[in-house]
């Protein structure tokens, strides 16, 4: 295998970084270490330097390989993997706040993350303020003397509001505030928040990283000091990813680059056609040149993925009808896999918004499905 310093491009990291074919007996696929514990050789029993692997709640070789690949992709010092995206979110937040602290979070954040901040943390005396996040002044105005954490999601996965990551990261550092971003939509291929100054970049690995709708996992990256605090929380709450799930994420990384490019190409074409259909009022997709924050998106992302939404001229019932008539788009609570999904966003400030995940079934197949349903809305 090449020297580790050769791994500079994402494609190289995704395929070969951290792997040693010789140690794997020539296998091109790394092994799954299905072991709950690792014994210590007698000659090392009383050494001060701890063994790298001791107990599965703390670390695992399969999870470690996945973490090293993600850290390399994110251009971070280290990464930690978790049993779910929410385990990553809650651990990263809990590691950086305590009773009496204040969090500023974007108001279109992932629902369970928002509930965790608003409901669970409030029980322990941790305050919060939700802001739109579309301007840096939203964060400036929300800062209090006890503000300790900014929680971001850019693009947010409803109507895709984008935050200025460079400016918000700079503001956070000026005020000794930890910045955390849910980077699931863009993936570590298309957006690298650590390089823009953000402290922690996290993902629901169940989405594009896994890519096949067969794994629940999460991952977070940052510098060694801040991630050490997160690791202590992970150990206390037992939130590490399982070895089989870590291996499935490694499998997903093999094809991540080609998959997100395919999702991007299909989503951009579908979004363009949707914007031209008379039943559609507005399309929310950062990759469209007329998207209100397109310039900002281009300045901090190198590409766009497959999740988008659009609003109709009609009401909620029309949105439900359009979604219900679709054949290739199935209703479900997640996205980021190979399959196309549909949902109607309710309680998100917009009652007639349909959210789509553009899968890999083919542009013409998916557009014919969408056009047929939208045409019926005009009848």
pLDDT tens digits, 264-302:
999 999 999 999 999 999 999 999 999 999 999 999 999
pLDDT (average), residues 144-153: 98
What residue ranges of the chain are covered by domains with CATH 3.40.640.10? 4-254
Confidence of residue 42 (pLDDT cuts 50, 70, 90): confident
CATH architecture of the region 256-378? Alpha-Beta Complex (3.90)
Per-residue pLDDT at 2 exceeds 50 = no
Q: Mind listing the pLDDT tens digit for each residue in 329-342?
A: 999 989 999 999 99
CA atoms in the 13 A half-sphere facing the CB of 142:
27
CATH 3.40.640.10 assigned to 4-254: yes
> pLDDT exceeding 70 applies to what percent of the chain?
97
What residue ranges of the chain are covered by domains with CATH 3.90.1150.10? 256-378
Q: Mind listing the pLDDT tens digit for each residue in 320-329?
A: 999 999 999 9
Q: What is the pLDDT of residue 347?
A: 59
Q: Mind listing the pLDDT tens digit for each residue in 246-274?
A: 999 999 999 999 999 999 999 999 999 99
Confidence of residue 58 (pLDDT cuts 50, 70, 90): very high
Per-residue pLDDT at 369 exceeds 60 = yes
Per-residue pLDDT at 86 exceeds 80 = yes
Q: What is the pLDDT of residue 6?
A: 47
Per-residue pLDDT at 82 exceeds 90 = yes
Confidence of residue 119 (pLDDT cuts 50, 70, 90): very high
The residue among 40 and 372 whose pLDDT is bigger is 372
Decide if 109 contacts 156 (C-beta within 8 A): yes
Q: What is the pLDDT of residue 8?
A: 66
pLDDT (average), residues 187-201: 98
Rg (the chain; Cα; Å): 21
Q: What is the pLDDT of residue 350?
A: 61
């Amino acid at each position: 295998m090449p020297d580790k310093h050769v791994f500079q491009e994402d494609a190289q990291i995704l395929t070969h970084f951290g792997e040693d074919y010789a140690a794997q007996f020539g296998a091109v696929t790394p092994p799954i270490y299905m072991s709950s514990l690792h014994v210590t050789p007698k000659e090392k029993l009383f050494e001060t330097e701890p063994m790298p692997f001791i107990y599965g709640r703390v670390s695992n070789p399969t999870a470690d390989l996945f973490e090293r690949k993600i850290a390399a992709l994110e251009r971070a010092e280290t990464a930690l993997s978790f049993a779910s995206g929410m385990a990553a979110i809650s651990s990263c937040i809990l590691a950086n706040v305590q009773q009496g602290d204040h969090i500023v979070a974007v108001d279109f954040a992932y629902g369970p993350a928002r509930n965790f901040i608003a409901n669970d943390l409030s029980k322990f005396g941790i305050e919060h303020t939700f802001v739109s996040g579309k301007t840096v002044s939203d964060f400036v105005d929300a800062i209090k003397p006890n503000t300790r954490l900014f929680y971001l999601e850019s693009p947010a996965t409803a109507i895709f509001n984008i935050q200025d990551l460079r400016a918000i990261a700079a503001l956070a550092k000026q005020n000794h505030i930890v910045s955390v971003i849910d980077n699931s939509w863009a993936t570590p291929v298309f957006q690298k928040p650590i390089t823009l100054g953000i402290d922690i970049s996290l993902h629901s690995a169940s989405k594009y990283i896994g890519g096949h709708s067969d794994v629940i996992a999460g991952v977070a990256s940052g510098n060694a000091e801040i991630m050490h605090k997160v690791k202590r929380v992970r150990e206390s709450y037992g939130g590490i990813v399982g070895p089989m799930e870590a291996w499935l994420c490694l499998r997903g990384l093999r094809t991540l680059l080609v998959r997100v490019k395919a999702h991007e190409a299909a989503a951009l074409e579908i979004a363009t056609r949707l914007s031209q259909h008379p039943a559609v009022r507005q399309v929310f997709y950062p990759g469209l040149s007329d998207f209100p924050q397109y310039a900002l998106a281009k300045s901090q992302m190198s590409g766009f993925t497959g999740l988008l939404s659009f609003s109709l001229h009609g009401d909620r019932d029309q949105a439900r009808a359009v979604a219900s008539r679709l054949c290739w788009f199935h209703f479900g609570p997640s996205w980021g896999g190979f399959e196309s999904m549909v949902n109607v966003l309710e309680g998100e400030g917009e009652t007639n918004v349909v959210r789509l995940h553009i899968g890999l079934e083919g542009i013409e197949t998916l557009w014919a499905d969408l056009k047929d349903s939208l045409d019926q809305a005009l009848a």
